A and B are shown apart, each in its own frame.
Chain A
Amino acid sequence: MNTTTARISASFDDAPLTLVRRRWPLGLALLLLVAFVGLPLLGNDYWLNAIVIPFLVLSLAGLGLNLLTGYTGQTSVGAAGFMAVGAFATYGLLLRVPGIPLPLALLGGGLIAAFVGLLFGIPSARIKGFYLMVTTLAAQFFLEWVFSKFAWFYNFASSGTISAPRLELFGYSLASPVGRYLLTLSCVVLLTWVAVNLVRSQVGRNWMAIRDMDTAASVVGIPVDRYKRLAFAVSSFYLGIAGALWAFAYLGTASSGSFDINRSFQILFIIIIGGMGSIAGNFIGAAFISLMPILLNHGGQWLFGGNVDAGQLQNLQKIIFGTLIIWFLIKEPEGLVRLLGDLRERLKAWPLRF
């Protein structure tokens, strides 16, 4: 009797330790070292500009949407609309508040996006499922319209675009590819760290309870409506910052058309392919989404010897893309992150099968 209880309590005591041990401090530190020091030294400007920066920004956007859709279960197809809010708000702050430092402007842009997200999250108290999804489409179209219709948002530029204002921090210019890369990376690392802790906290647990069954969650005393709205706000905060980075660190010049519905779908695909309700999944999904077109492009050029019509290649790309999505949904509904996890488990036991 005594030994049994002792063993049980011992296994309970061990549990948090195994959780901590799985976090790989060394591997993570190495990864960060490579990302912060190695890549800027080794990577060339083209790679940073065209592949690494968009990959990081898309990961961040995926993270934002994943908090709402993957963790709280509220499907949204308006992600790009909130990204637009972040971009235009950051632009407005940098333009109209004299001497505002860049991090503060980014934060402000994120907060404004969070507020807009909160407004569009209010219907979630009464509306569920597909009906709610359509209300996020309303947000997408409305926000897109606002940012192309009212010239004040883009400072009355005749082209209707906003372009990167002074990107500098403590007097250092961040306009070079490496500077923009480091800016993006810092934001992504910081916000990912916050998200990892957030979803492990009471807030994250409440979100997941709501996702799994909101009626049951309200029965056990979780203030469902408030947490749904909170999810909308936090998600939009992340998306807002991602939008600002997309506009200024990646594109340089953006308009409301840079945040159209196809961008929303792209971000939705990132979290489907990467893995719903997973932090690492966003990065894997974003890597997949940003590398696949490049691979297909090069593959197509190589296969057809360069004389292939670009339009046809794009159609082919669409078909492959759609097929992959359906294939993923059929074979691995939990996304690439699960696939990789299974692979790791199998490698651990190799050469044994189990």
Chain B
Amino acid sequence: MNLFLETLIGGLLAGTMYSLVAIGFVLIYKASGVFNFAQGSMLLFAALTFVSLHEQGVPFALALAITLVVMVIGALLIERLVLRPLVNRSQITLFMATLGLSFIIEGLAQGLMGAQVRALDLGIDDVPLFVGEIMISQFDLIAAGICAVLVAVLALLFNKTRIGIALRAVADDTRAALSVGINLNRIWQIVWAVAGMVGLVAGLLWGARQGVQFSLSLVVLKALPVLIIGGFTSIGGAIVGGLIVGAAENLAEAYIGPLIGGGITPWFAYFLALIFLYIRPAGLFGDRAIERV
């Protein structure tokens, strides 16, 4: 029983890290209908920039601030050079554009800052904590706490500020939002910038865990099943989806894995997502599409 609880809690905590990546997707998808495959490379770029600055002796807070500025500039450039010329194109076209974007960002990140593995120390000790007889990773616990804070901040942004209300209006009905004078380009810039910031937080946490290197950009593939389960349009869904995937993955690796040879994590989450999709084709919290001829 202890093993079960330990696996479950470990999985849930790891799941918050998945949620964090998935939230970046949801933000952009809600506001601009773009399925942003470049989220993973944005994450890599942010983490690499931060680590490179930190290695040069730039203090923690300043490095964080500079990276934030870089991500915002990146968002502005993406909006101007990629999204604006592609406005009104099909969603699949936009998705493929973000595939191209991910190539550019990866090439830039590695070209400018090198491809070797960097260690990232956030000053969080990874010592196991014991609650009763259950072992919990302190790092995971703190990471989950950071996720919670981030989500709270995002919720405040979305619900209490003028910008947030405009964002929700665009997500709800783009044309109506335009007609009441909301500046769509500005909204896109803001959303991509916020997604870049979320990517920075996710990149730092993931980077501290597994080292900052190219494979960081592959966490995007981890986030896709999360997105499917939660639905593309719901931040709450991304969190719940992340928890489900994290827990199920850990439990499956511990209990089903040994039966069929192990190493099932790369695809198990996808199968879980498939099962969910059969029951709810638009995810748990996604908007159901209504089609007309």
Contacts and interface: CB of A to CB of B under 8 A. Distances in A.
Contact of B101 (A145, A150, A326): A326
Contacts of A128: 281, 289
A135 B100 CA distance: 21
Which secondary structure dominates chain A's binding surface? helix
A216 B293 CA distance: 6
Nearest to A75: B92
A231 interface: no
Contacts, number: 124
B99 A316 contact: no
B106 interface: yes
A326 B82 contact: yes
A329 B96 contact: yes
A213 B224 CA distance: 26
B103 A316 contact: no
Contacts of A312: 111
Contacts of A318: 103-104, 106-107
Interface string A317-335: 1110111111001100100
Interface in A265-279: 265, 268-269, 272
A325 B99 contact: yes
Interface residues of B, number: 49
Given A134-B224, A213-B293, A322 B100 contact: yes
B160 interface: no
29 contacts: A123-B274, A126-B277, A128-B289, A131-B277, A134-B227, A134-B270, A135-B274, A135-B277, A137-B224, A138-B267, A141-B267, A141-B270, A144-B266, A145-B264, A149-B261, A216-B293, A268-B99, A272-B96, A315-B107, A316-B107, A316-B111, A319-B111, A322-B99, A322-B104, A323-B100, A325-B100, A326-B101, A326-B104, A329-B100
Contact of A325 (B97, B228, B261, B264): B97
A319 B104 contact: yes
A322 B224 contact: no
A336 to B, nearest CB: 15
Q: Which of B97, B100, B261, B277 lies at the interface centre, i.e. has the most chain A CB atoms within 10 A of its CB?
A: B100
Contacts of A213: 293
A329 B89 CA distance: 9
A10 interface: no
Interface in B65-98: 81-82, 85-86, 89, 91-93, 95-97
Contact of A130 (B35, B101, B278): B35
A289 to B, nearest CB: 13
A28 interface: no
A129 interface: yes
Contacts of B263: 145, 149
A68 B102 CA distance: 24
Nearest to A322: B103
A269 B96 CA distance: 9
Interface in A7-38: none
A127 interface: yes
Contact of B281 (A131, A138, A144, A329): A131
A312 B113 CA distance: 11
Contacts of A268: 96, 99
B291 interface: yes
Interface string B190-204: 000000000000000
A117 to B, nearest CB: 15
Contacts of A316: 107, 111
Contacts of A333: 89, 93
- List 8 tightest A-B contacts by C-beta distance, closest first: A322-B103, A325-B100, A318-B107, A138-B270, A315-B111, A322-B104, A319-B107, A141-B267
